[in-house]
Amino acid sequence: MVSSPKIPDNLDELFSLSEFLEFNDTVKECIIQDDNVKNYELDELIVSYCKFKNVSFNESNFSKGTYNDVIFDNCDFSSTNLEKSTFKRVVFNNCKLTGTILNGSYFENVSFNGCVMPSIILDDANFSSTMISKCNLNGASISGITFKNLDFEDCDLTETNFTTTSMNGLDLRTCDISGIITYMDDLKGVIMTSAQSLGFIKLLGITVIDNE
């Protein structure tokens, strides 16, 4: 069960995030809409009790940030550096995270819904009560992660790199896992369909021939 963000009903509207960040590194109880902070750089940004709608963070650097009780709707994080950030009770709805760097980040009660996330980098991330639903993670790197209650639902995980990630307890039955990259030892405890398992049988050098 993923807890929802706790956001007040009445939020102040912030009209230019980039101008606000020239003098502040904390954003609280605001709604930001139809804004562009492309190519911006600020470490250790703190955001809490906020909503972002149609905001582009494209190619910006916001590493080591802290995000508590935040909703991102239709936002663009393509090629954005968010490494070593902390996300608690955060929702990403229909966001673009192509090539987004999130390695070493911590996710607790976080939902990704209908997001486009090919080539996202999540190496060494830590997930607690996280739902990733109907998302495209084609070619993503999810190496060396740790997790408790991480759920993938109807996701495209084709050619995703899971090396050095213990997949014990992951239920991937509703996902496309064609061509995923992993070590056989890391597959112990993963849940998949019989059809999905055939690809891994081939990795073991086993040829399956049904009797006619």
What are the pLDDT digits (tens) for 100-139? Answer: 999 999 999 999 999 999 999 999 999 999 999 999 999 9
Would you kindly state where each structural domain of the chain is located, as residue ranges? 12-203
CA distance 135 to 109: 17
Could you tell me how far CA 107 lies from the centroid of its own chain?
9
The pTM of the full predicted model, rounded to 2 decimals, is 0.93
Note whether 34 and 52 are within 8 A (CB).
no
DSSP state of 184: G
Note whether 151 and 172 are within 8 A (CB).
no
What are the pLDDT digits (tens) for 26-40? Answer: 999 999 999 999 899
- Architecture of the domain whose range is 12-203: 3 Solenoid (2.160)
CA angle 70, 60, 108 (to 5 degrees): 30
Structure tokens at 190: 């993963």
What are the pLDDT digits (tens) for 157-193? Answer: 999 999 999 999 999 999 999 999 998 889 999 999 9
Note whether 97 and 78 are within 8 A (CB).
yes
Give the start-end residues of each E strand in 45-199: 46-53, 66-73, 86-93, 106-113, 126-133, 146-153
